[in-house]
Amino acid sequence: MFDGVVELGNGVVMMPRLGLGTFRVRDNEVVYNVLDAALANGYRLIDTASSYKNETEIGSALQELLPKYHLNREDIFITSKLGPAEHGEEKSYHACCQSLDRLKVDWLDLYLIHWPGVQKLKHDDPRNTQLRKQSWTALEQLSRDGKVKAIGVSNYTISLMEELLEYATIKPSVLQVEFHPLLYQQEVQHFCRIHGIHLQAYSSLGCGKLLDHELVVSIAAKHQKLPSQVLLRWALELDTSVIPRSVNINHVAENSRLFDFALSGEEIEALCKLHEGHHFCWDPAGIH
């Protein structure tokens, strides 16, 4: 059994290893009900982004729900992300302040650059490099100003991480990437481990499409668990953290029951062998 939290930035920030993904979780009532179920089931991390267009709803729901669960702002961990249309130094700083306003909080626990490319620019446009560097400068300033506790990136490849580490004066704490058995990003994870960067997995359920995979189903049956729990536990066993998304409150509850069983070494290995470089979400390869 392992801890439900991971230390970021040499133990300065403690991040829960289970969080609630909120991509496409939008409607006011849905957001409220899903967050209610999540908090009731022990989730303490919420993953959002300016591009998910739900920060306002999440902020309002939390204002009502935190008192309901006798929680303070300090008891929960909120991640948001800088959108691809918000790159650039001033724009990024302002975008984060807007996320804070919408979420009705004074700080974010983690702020990520969502995507290494800039909206409307081609993958090989040299302005991508300049603008994401400027964005990182803004994230460092936001961190110095206490508006964000930890900073990181998402969808960066190893070469983009190397580029970032050349100019970063504050090292990224987290890299959030698509990570599941069909996209077992072993090299990226190895790179992160060497540099003390935590790898956070997204689309752990393959956006729902891995739930009926034969091997996943058979491992789940053996443990009397659900396929979703096997996929999430696999990611946890590999030292990542997970942020499954659901608008179904029963699924939200199921996805929290990950800490009362373990996969065998053979099962973990067999799932790793499914790797075929398959992206269910967006693929950053080719961005310079």
Ligand X SMILES: NC(=O)c1ccc[n+]([C@@H]2O[C@H](COP(=O)([O-])OP(=O)(O)OC[C@H]3O[C@@H](n4cnc5c(N)ncnc54)[C@H](OP(=O)(O)O)[C@@H]3O)[C@@H](O)[C@H]2O)c1
The catalytic site residues sit at 52
The residue from 54, 80, 246, 256 that contacts ligand X (CB under 6 A) is 246
Side-chain half-sphere CA neighbours of 111 within 13 A: 30
- Pattern 157-186, binding to ligand X, x per CB under 6 A? -------------------x----------
Looking at residue 183, the DSSP 8-state letter turns out to be: B
Q: Is residue 281 a contact residue for ligand X (CB under 6 A)?
A: yes
Residues 6 or more apart whose CB falls under 8 angstroms from that of 242 comprise 17, 18, 19, 200, 201, 204, 232, 235, 236, 258
Single out the segment in contact with ligand X by CB under 6 A; choices: 18-26, 66-74, 91-99, 261-269. Answer: 18-26
CA dihedral 125, 192, 189, 187 (to 10 degrees): 60
> What is d(CA 260, CA 33) in angstroms, rounded to the nearest whole number?
25
User: Nearest-CB residue to ligand X?
Assistant: 21
Nearer to ligand X, 91 or 279 (CB): 279
Q: Is residue 132 a contact residue for ligand X (CB under 6 A)?
A: no
The residue from 66, 207, 268, 270 that contacts ligand X (CB under 6 A) is 207
Q: Are 7 and 13 in contact (CB under 8 A)?
A: yes
The residue from 57, 86, 163, 254 that contacts ligand X (CB under 6 A) is 254
- Pattern 86-125, binding to ligand X, x per CB under 6 A? ----------------------------x-----------
Structural tokens at position 158 = 């190893």
Nearer to ligand X, 72 or 86 (CB): 86
The residue from 8, 132, 244, 267 that contacts ligand X (CB under 6 A) is 244
Looking at residue 107, the DSSP 8-state letter turns out to be: -
Q: Is residue 251 a contact residue for ligand X (CB under 6 A)?
A: yes
Residues 6 or more apart whose CB falls under 8 angstroms from that of 115 comprise 83, 84, 154, 155, 282, 284
- Min. distance of Cβ 186 from ligand X in angstroms? 19
> What is d(CA 66, CA 35) in angstroms, rounded to the nearest whole number?
10
Single out the segment in contact with ligand X by CB under 6 A; choices: 6-14, 60-68, 167-175, 199-207. Answer: 199-207
The residue from 54, 80, 154, 189 that contacts ligand X (CB under 6 A) is 154
Look up residue 181 and give its amino acid.
P
Q: Which residues pair with 51 in a beta bridge?
A: none
Q: Is residue 22 a contact residue for ligand X (CB under 6 A)?
A: yes
- Min. distance of Cβ 180 from ligand X in angstroms? 7
Please name which of 21, 39, 42, 35 lies closest in space to residue 259, comparing C-alpha atoms: 42
The residue from 99, 155, 185, 241 that contacts ligand X (CB under 6 A) is 155
> What is d(CA 274, CA 181) in angstroms, rounded to the nearest whole number?
6
What does the binding site for ligand X look like in residue numbers (CB under 6 A)?
A: 21-23, 47, 114, 154-155, 176, 202-208, 211, 226, 228, 243-248, 251, 254-255, 281
